[in-house]
Amino acid sequence: MDLIGNFFVTLAMTGAATLLALAIGIPFGYFLYSNTRYGIAYEGWLAAAFAAPTVLLYPLFLVIFGRSHATLIAMGFIPGAIPIIIQTRQGLLGVSRTLLNVGRSFNISDRDMFWKIQLPSAVPTIFTGIRIGVMYTLVNIVAIEYLIDFGGLGRIVSEMYFRFDTPGTYASIIAVVFVSVFFYWGFGRIEKWLRPV
């Protein structure tokens, strides 16, 4: 049943969706931070979207993209981008006044302010968003794979069940558990390393 190959399919989908979520989520989070009114206006909506059952949108993407990798990436992107946006804004809002004032007293440009002060000091919080985003992306992609019988690990689970291959079903379920435990553990380690406590 080629668990390794299918693992890499799922991994590639998760990676693509995560990159897309980062590329859109971080700039958008920065936009919401620098335009306070937009930030406040969208804050509640983002929180609602984070709690909403976005996984149910998949028939919509099936209709638009068909049963293709694009559907998987789009479905992974939505739940991944929202926590990244929220946490990017939170992280930038939490940058200490003192650091900002130091930057101002050195009279540095906005660009340097962002790269040398705001971003480094917001990284731990942003990374929390990235960790949550990646987990949600992975989970949603596996769930959609299972639901539409397409793609990597999720499809294998569904296929084994339909073949009445009970040992195969359990084996593929355990594979999924291992993958998500590995992700959970790995990102937890990176987060601890990034957060200077």
Partner 1 sequence: MAQTGVIQAASVDKTSVEASISRIRLITLIGLIAAWECLALLGSIGVLYNDVVPSAWKIAVAIYGELVSAAFYRDLGITFAEHIVGFIVGSAIAIFLGIAMGTNPLLRKALEPYLNAIGSTPKIIFLPILFLMFGTGIESKMAKGAMSAFFPVVFTTALGMLLINPVLIRVGKSFNLSKSQMIRKIYIPAMVNPIITGLRLGMAITVIGVLVAELKFADGGLGYRLGIYYEQFRIAPMYAIILIIFALAAAANVGMTRLQDRVNRHMAPTTAKGKKARASASGGLGVVATN
Residues that bind partner 1 (CB under 8 A): 37-38, 40-42, 48, 51-53, 55-57, 59-60, 62-64, 83, 86, 128, 131-132, 135-136, 138-140, 142-143, 146-147, 154, 157-158, 160-161, 166, 169-170, 173, 176-177, 180-181, 183-184
CB atoms within 10 A of CB 54: 15
CB 131 within 8 A of CB 187: yes
CA–CA separation, 21 vs 132, rounded Å?
Answer: 12
Which CB atom, from 102 or from 181, has the smaller least distance to partner 1?
181
Q: Min. distance of Cβ 120 from partner 1 in angstroms? A: 20
Concatenated DSSP letters of 95-142: S-HHHHHHHHHTT--HHHIIIIIIHHHHHHHHHHHHHHHHHHHHHHHH
CA–CA separation, 133 vs 173, rounded Å?
Answer: 22
For 150, the 3-state DSSP assignment is coil
Q: Min. distance of Cβ 146 from partner 1 in angstroms? A: 6
Q: Min. distance of Cβ 57 from partner 1 in angstroms? A: 7
Which CB atom, from 55 or from 119, has the smaller least distance to partner 1?
55
Q: Min. distance of Cβ 177 from partner 1 in angstroms? A: 5
Q: Which DSSP letter does residue 118 get?
A: I
Which CB atom, from 24 or from 143, has the smaller least distance to partner 1?
143
Q: Min. distance of Cβ 46 from partner 1 in angstroms? A: 12
Give pairs for 181-189: CB < 8 Å, separation 24+.
Answer: 183/134, 183/135, 183/138, 184/135, 187/130, 187/131, 187/134, 187/135, 188/131
